[in-house]
């Protein structure tokens, strides 16, 4: 078995950017033969000395994203002294910003992960989507920025989570002929409730695959055409009663549907 090459990823923040870049490059050189040693939150010269020593011992490369001038300069100096290859991922782009926009960088690590108001808004929205998923608590209908309705397997839950990541509080309600629709649904302002529909063929294929993953027979009533047509017909009648906009999710990525939802909200 050949020796695994090592790349040292170093950052004065989390270091996600550097690791992703290294992985993208490593994929071009048999990624499973290249190991990544990741060191985050480097804060002093001792940390850098330790990494330089390891990289020299392994005849390795250091790839880094360090924004504090003193640490970056020290790493470059020590790497040169020890004849260790060190690649600064941020410097060329940062210099281009300085020259183009005539501004100086803040030189503060971790700014992309600052716990600002928008971050907490996302967290609240994600917790909301989990709590009010699949009509678990009907209070969510009144509190939600968006209420999604549709039959089973129309991407209500993944769409709710995707929109939550964008900061929207989303509740979703499954439409099942045997289950009465909550009266709260008819009180939702029309612009905040959105119906999701799908073609019978697409829904049939999705439900069969779902049954297969669950270890059940694909001919169960859940995936039968008569049942699917019955559910879609029922859902259409409910959506007409609610008077909500409708999006066809057939063959659509979650991102596409989410953009359609946001466009409707903006209108």
Residue ranges of the binding site for ADP: 150-157
Q: Which residues are annotated as a binding site?
A: 150-157
State the CB neighbour count (10 A cutoff) for residue 4: 10
Closest CA relative to residue 258, chosen from 130, 126, 155: 155
Q: Burial code of 8-35, b = ≥16 C-beta within 10 A, e = fewer?
A: bbbbbbbbeebbeebeeebeeeeeeebe
Tell me the CA end-to-end span of the chain in Å, nearest whole number. 61
Cα 37 to Cα 200: distance, rounded to the nearest angstrom: 50
- Pairing state of beta strands 34-39 and 85-88? unpaired
């Amino acid at each position: 078995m050949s020796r695994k090459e090592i790349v040292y990823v170093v950052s004065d923040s989390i270091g996600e950017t550097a690791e992703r870049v290294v992985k993208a490059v490593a994929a071009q050189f048999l990624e499973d033969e290249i190991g990544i040693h990741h060191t985050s939150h480097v804060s002093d010269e001792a940390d850098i000395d330790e990494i330089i020593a390891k990289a020299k011992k392994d005849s390795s490369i250091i790839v880094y994203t360090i924004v504090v001038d003193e640490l970056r300069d020290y790493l470059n100096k020590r790497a040169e002294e020890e004849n260790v290859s060190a690649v600064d991922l941020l410097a060329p782009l940062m210099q281009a910003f300085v020259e183009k926009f005539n501004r100086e960088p803040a030189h503060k690590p971790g700014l992309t992960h600052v716990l600002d108001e928008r971050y907490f808004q996302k967290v609240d929205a994600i917790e909301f989507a989990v709590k009010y998923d699949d009509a678990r608590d009907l209070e969510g209908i009144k509190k939600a920025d968006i209420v999604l309705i549709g039959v089973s397997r129309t991407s209500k839950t993944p769409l709710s989570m995707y929109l939550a990541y964008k900061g929207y509080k989303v509740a979703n309600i499954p439409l099942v002929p045997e289950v009465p629709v909550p009266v709260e649904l008819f009180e939702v302002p029309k612009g905040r409730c959105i119906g999701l529909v799908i073609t019978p063929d697409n829904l049939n294929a999705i439900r069969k695959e779902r049954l297969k993953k669950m270890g059940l027979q694909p001919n169960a009533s859940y995936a039968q055409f008569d049942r699917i047509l019955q559910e879609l017909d029922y859902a259409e009648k409910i959506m007409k009663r609610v008077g909500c906009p409708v999006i066809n999710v057939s063959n659509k990525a979650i991102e596409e549907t989410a953009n359609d939802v946001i466009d409707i909200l903006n209108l």
